[in-house]
Amino acid sequence: MDPALFFNAFIYLAAATIAAPLGRRFGIGAVLGYLVIGAIIGPAVLGLTGQHSEEVLHFAEFGVVLMLFVIGLELDLGKLWRMRTSIFGLGGLQLTLSAIALALAAGLIAGNWREALALGLILALSSTAIVMQTLKERGLIGTSSGKQGFAVLLFQDIAVIPILAFLPTLAHQTVGNSSGSDHSKPAFTRWISDLPAWGEGLVILGAIIIIIVVGRFALTPWLRWVARLKVPEALNATTLTLVVGTALLMHSVGLSPALGTFVAGVMLASSPYRHELEANIEPFKSLLLAVFFLAVGASINFTLIASQPLTIAAFVFALIAIKAFVLFTLSRIFRLALDQGLLFSIALAQGGEFAFVLGGFALAHGVLSPAITAQMIAAVALSMALSPILLITLQKFVLPRLGTNETREAADPDVENDHTKVLLAGFGRFGHPIIRLLRSAGHMPTVLEQDSDHVAFIRRIGLKCYYGDATRLELLHAAGASEAEILIVAVDDEDDCMKIIENSRKHFPHLKILARACSRDHAYLLYEAGVKYFIEQLGSSLDCAITALDLIGHDLNHAKDAARRFKENEIESIEKLASYRGNHSQYIDAANQNLRDLDSLLENAPIKLPGQD
């Protein structure tokens, strides 16, 4: 067992522990905090990461893969179709125009047009990880700039495939052996290179079909079965197996793992288990993205920057300025508001994480020289570090002067976009009538249910319901608790009920909470928590008593009035007795007194038989 491995793991985890809080404390955001701390622990400053920064960077790129899977879960084919103009129109123009402009500028430093074109294609790509995380931190995901930025990033992820295929054609000379087989690739990815072009196409098509079929038709029944068993670790393992398996399948046929997992996520976007899948992935995604940002900061070659400061500075300036100009021009063509156009252009103006992959690929195939590759990697890393700073500067000092401040565009009418006013945690006999009555009044709640059979039933009768454990904070976030108005807690388990209320009080203090009291003791807890509670059996029990009195021959109106007074007394007694629960003898005395008060109350207005005076 290598102690260096554990030491590096400790360093990165410790850095991740302090980077985000410090970044938020000083108002620079978590991403920039990770990049700064990464640079500090890297070889150029403290040297705590040793010589393994590049290996850690490649490992942590799996965080980007997980992020694309989560993004896919938040979309469906209908949304993608509606975004086709932005994805292929805006995204295609951005990549083409940026690549041409950057290639022309790169011609000033590159040795020939081949290197210039390769640089243009590689630098035209932006950082999905930096952009999406920064936009999320700044509250810009739901704005028009955020949506258009996501469309461009999605097209860029798709474009990585043809760029990888095209780069070797720019090589000065053939790299490899005489057989033409590419031995720079692992054995399990090299086999596809030996196929004819039509064979490669069929294999790629087959891989995508496998993802679609498994994601759409096979996985949901499996998830339903696993959920019915109530084994959380099995659901976690299923989620990670899906993501890792999809990434391996895509990599084995020469495609982008991130694109493959995105497709898998889209196939599961309509699944009732998607919120639970997202909640399961979130901790792994967040941790790996944190390590990725730290590794980017640690990989900045300060020695090269110090030896060529003017060259690297010019490289970074040209990269950001050219991309920002192209992006802003396109934002005007596609009619984004001025503030949104500026946000869009600055957010995507950096280089991307694929530059580390494509740069090494181009170097291995003789497309780029070692010197230019080193300069490019340093410039891209610096541009990624500068990106959050530029966006913060734009938001704080430029946009306020423009008088425009869109923060959120009206989203599609979908539960994922937080339009429901009511969240309902739990279905069952208590929640079912609530759903039906609210729905009849035009307020269909977002339903979170942990029983997979209930989920299947609700969806079969045409109501929206999502499988998931509402005690998990991530799930409440995903279901829209930050923008809902009311949370109704109707779960069977009293401990789960209190945990949901505790999380909601802490993280969503604006929510008005209504809760099912499963017992009198539970009602005491809800009262002490300041929650409006409803004793589960009370209403139906009183209805039953009213009916019994009616059948006996008592006056129905008097019976209803007595039931109303009984209910009022029951609620008041809970408030009175709650303070005595810690003292058994006092509680018994108070409970006996309450019974006498109730008897007195009902005796003063007895339930009469018809004809009685």
Q: Summarize pLDDT for 372-413 with one digit per residue, the tens.
A: 888 898 899 899 889 888 988 888 888 877 755 544 443 333
pLDDT tier at 452, thresholds 50, 70, 90: low
Tell how far CA 181 is from the center of its chain: 40
pLDDT value for 359: 83
Confirm if 27 and 389 have CB atoms less than 8 A apart: no
What confidence tier does 47 reach under pLDDT thresholds 50, 70, 90?
A: confident
Tokens read off for 387: 């990106």
Query: For residue range 307-322, what is the model confidence (pLDDT) as tens digits?
Result: 999 999 999 999 999 9
pLDDT, position 567: 74
Half-sphere CA count of 46, side-chain side, radius 13 A: 12
Amino acid at 334: F
208 vs 595 pLDDT, higher one: 208
From the CB of residue 528, how many other CB atoms can be counted at a distance below 10 Å? 12
pLDDT at position 186, please?
A: 45
Model confidence pLDDT, tens digit, residues 543-599: 777 778 777 777 888 778 877 777 777 767 776 666 666 666 666 766 666 666 656
Taking the C-alpha atoms of residue 559 and residue 579, their distance in angstroms, rounded to an integer, is 31
Q: What is the pLDDT of residue 590?
A: 65
Q: Which of 167, 84, 157 is nearest to 120 (CA)?
A: 167
Sorted by sequence, the CB contacts under 8 Å of residue 366 that are 6+ apart come out as 171, 172, 173, 175
* Distance (Å, whole) CA 466 – CA 330: 39
Taking alpha carbons only, the member of 161, 413, 347 closest to residue 262 is 161
Q: List C-alpha distances in Å: 238 to 219, 469, 607.
A: 9, 17, 61
Q: How far lies 276's CA from each of 72, 222, 245, 470, 503, in Å?
A: 14, 14, 19, 10, 17
Q: How far is residue 423's CA from residue 173's CA, in Å, rounded to a whole number?
A: 62
* Whether the Cβ atoms of residue 289 and residue 16 lie closer than 8 Å to each other: no
- Bridge partner list, 589: none
Four-way CATH pick for 61-173+188-272+296-402: 1.20.1530.20, 1.20.120.1760, 2.60.120.20, 3.40.50.920 = 1.20.1530.20
Q: Mean pLDDT throughout 199-215?
A: 76
Note the pLDDT tens digit of each residue in 281-295.
Answer: 878 888 888 888 888
The secondary structure of 232-301, three-state, reads HHHHHHHHHHHHHHHHHHHHHCCCCHHHHHHHHHHHCCCCCCHHHHHHHHHHHHHHHHHHHHHHHHHHCC
State the helix-helix crossing angle for 452-460 and 219-229, rounded to 10 degrees. 130
* pLDDT higher than threshold 90 for residue 330: yes
Mean residue pLDDT across the chain? 77
Q: Which of 303, 510, 501, 384 is nearest to 35 (CA)?
A: 384
CATH class of the domain at 418-536? alpha beta
Mean pLDDT of 3-10: 74
**Cα 74–Cα 98–Cα 38 angle in degrees, nearest 5:** 65
